Amino acid sequence: MAAKDVLTRDQINAELAALPDWRFRLGGLAAALKCPTSAAALDLFAAIGALAQEANHHPDVDWRYDTLFVTLTSHDAGSKVTARDAALAKAISTAAREVGAVAHPELLRSVEIALDSADFAAVAPVWAAALGYKAGESDDLRDPSGRLPTLWFQQTETPNANRFHFDIHVPASEAQGVLAELAAAGATLDRSSEPAFVIATDPQGNKLCICTEEGRDA
């Protein structure tokens, strides 16, 4: 397999079986690596930078005190997972163990904002101009720097009165714990589309979706 070959979902799952630190998230591989100290996190950050330079393949790394949030995707392959991503993930995990870092997949959460619209092409330019976003997939807008949440348009002839909702992406391994917390907090859960997503409604009727990587292609 060539390094730039896009992996199928079955191939990604096979790679993840040997990558316990990592999860498949929104077209990439992601890990949250908690280090013993902030200094150790900086050492790991430097090690990741060196590995990235050596591989000529550069992940997104967000340093938060003693924790690094790392995302690997191949932008030149359409922001999909390739063999390069799996290889670099293995190398990063090795470097993480050397500094005593521990993976915390429960910290891996990301948010997409969904907007109901009967004609999203009519409103998308307004949101793109306001946010400085660019077109991503056919029905969404994305921050070119990858810092802000994706805005996607849910095509519907009958928009909800509350047109916005959050899609909160969590690893499938952590989803049941999150759903239990939501139920305990008073949310009503619609599990009809589980495991891909569960619709949660708060006591005032506001909706959100807890989404996982299950039931989605690569």
DSSP state of 37: S
Domain membership of residue 1 (yes or no) is no
pLDDT at 78: 79
CA-CA distance, 110 to 60, in Å (whole number)? 14
Domain co-membership, 59 together with 128: no
Domain co-membership, 100 together with 131: no
Domain co-membership, 180 together with 194: yes
Task: Identify the CATH number of the domain in which residue 72 sits.
Answer: 3.30.1360.20
- Number of independent structural domains in the chain: 2
Query: Which amino acid is it at 130?
Result: A
* Cα torsion through 138, 146, 21, 198, rounded to 10: -50
3-state helix, strand, coil in the chain (%, to 5): 35, 30, 35
Diameter of the chain measured on Cα atoms? 54
Q: Are 29 and 81 in contact (CB under 8 A)?
A: yes
CA-CA distance, 174 to 42, in Å (whole number)? 27
Domain membership of residue 216 (yes or no) is no
Where the chain has pLDDT below 50, the residues are none
CA-CA distance, 106 to 32, in Å (whole number)? 8
> pLDDT tens, 151-206?
999 988 888 888 999 999 999 999 999 999 999 999 999 999 999 999 999 998 88
Domain co-membership, 40 together with 71: yes
Q: Which domain range does residue 127 map to?
A: 108-211
Domain membership of residue 4 (yes or no) is no
pLDDT at 127: 94
Domain co-membership, 102 together with 135: no
pLDDT at 2: 59
Domain co-membership, 46 together with 138: no
CA-CA distance, 12 to 169, in Å (whole number)? 18
